[in-house]
Amino acid sequence: MTENAAPHQLSLLHQSNVPVQFRLNAATRRRGLRHIAEIRKQMEERQAARALQVEAITRLPDRPHAA
């Protein structure tokens, strides 16, 4: 595989050694980082909701008149 045929990945972090055709401007980088933060927040919220569901399912029922 030649260097030109190799896959490339865009970076949201500023790197001066990134080829010109793959450099992102500051506004695009900020939008990308904000979007990643939003996705991470959604994932954390879903994980917390799943944990609550598992806790509710595995919790033993209250037995107020147990001996």
pTM over 0.75: no
pLDDT in tens, 23-61: 888 898 899 889 999 999 999 999 999 999 888 888 766
**What per-residue string of b and e applies to 40-60 under the rule 16 or more CB within 10 Å gives b?**
eeeeeeeeeeeeeeeeeeeee
**Closest of 12, 44, 41 to residue 28, by C-alpha:** 12
Structure tokens at 65: 């008149």
